[in-house]
Amino acid sequence: MTQPRWLDSEEKAAWNAFLEVSHRVERRVEHHLREQEGLSHPQYEILVRLADAPEWQLRMTELAESLLTSKSGASYQIGKLEKAGLVRRSSCPGDDRGVLAVLTEEGMATLRRAAPGHVELVRSSLIDLLSREQLAALTDGLDTVARRIEE
């Protein structure tokens, strides 16, 4: 049996900093979106993905993949957004089993109201706290991790 490769002090500091910042930023974003628009962060991300999609619609499976969540997790969030009138489901043309998530006009209006405050919070919680060099290093490092985990 091999011994674990314990983290040295520099590695442990990086891991702890990552955990602290990711949790703090996520909590701030979640709180802000709930207070301002009654949305969870995953629901906001769904609205963003749909707004960026052609004709404001995506197949549910494609949406779930883009959110890095399960189909049932995406379906649950879509159900909540549907009840609020922000999203609707539609059958997929040419595929009887396929379901589309479609952003409604009300959903787009909600996104337009929420986006300015959201981007300001992202700036004040992360982006504006780092230099351009630090942002580039953060992006490079996290992109490497994402690619390696995907493999």
Query: In this predicted structure, what is the pLDDT of residue 120?
Result: 97
Query: In this predicted structure, what is the pLDDT of residue 84?
Result: 96
Distance CA(65)–CA(74), nearest Å, equals 9
Query: In this predicted structure, what is the pLDDT of residue 150?
Result: 86
Query: pTM for the whole thing?
Result: 0.89
Residue 103 forms beta bridges with which residues? 87
Query: In this predicted structure, what is the pLDDT of residue 7?
Result: 96
In sequence order, which residues have a C-beta less than 8 Å from that of residue 104 and are 6 or more positions away? 85, 86, 87, 88
CA 11 to mean position of chain CA atoms: 26
Longest Cα separation, the chain:
59
Q: Specify burial of residue 75 (Cβ count, 10 A radius: 0-12, 13-18, 19+).
A: middle
Query: In this predicted structure, what is the pLDDT of residue 90?
Result: 92
Are the C-beta atoms of residues 50 and 108 closer than 8 Å to each other?
no
Query: In this predicted structure, what is the pLDDT of residue 96?
Result: 72
Domain count of the chain? 1
Neighbours of 53 (CB within 10 A): 18
Q: Is residue 25 part of a domain?
A: no
Going residue by residue through the chain, which has 151 residues, state the pLDDT in tens, using 9 for 90 and above. Answer: 789 999 999 999 999 999 999 999 999 999 999 999 999 999 999 999 999 999 999 999 999 999 988 889 999 999 999 999 999 999 888 777 789 999 999 999 999 999 999 999 999 999 999 999 999 999 999 999 999 998 8
Distance CA(143)–CA(149), nearest Å, equals 10
> Which phi and psi (to 5°) does residue 7 adopt?
-75, 135
Q: Is residue 131 part of a domain?
A: yes
Tell me which residue range forms the domain holding 135: 32-150
Q: Is residue 17 part of a domain?
A: no
CATH code where residue 61 lies: 1.10.10.10
Q: Please report where in the chains the tokens 């879509």 appear, as a residue.
A: 78
Q: Is residue 4 part of a domain?
A: no
Q: Is residue 8 part of a domain?
A: no
For residue 125 the two structure tokens come to 């919680």
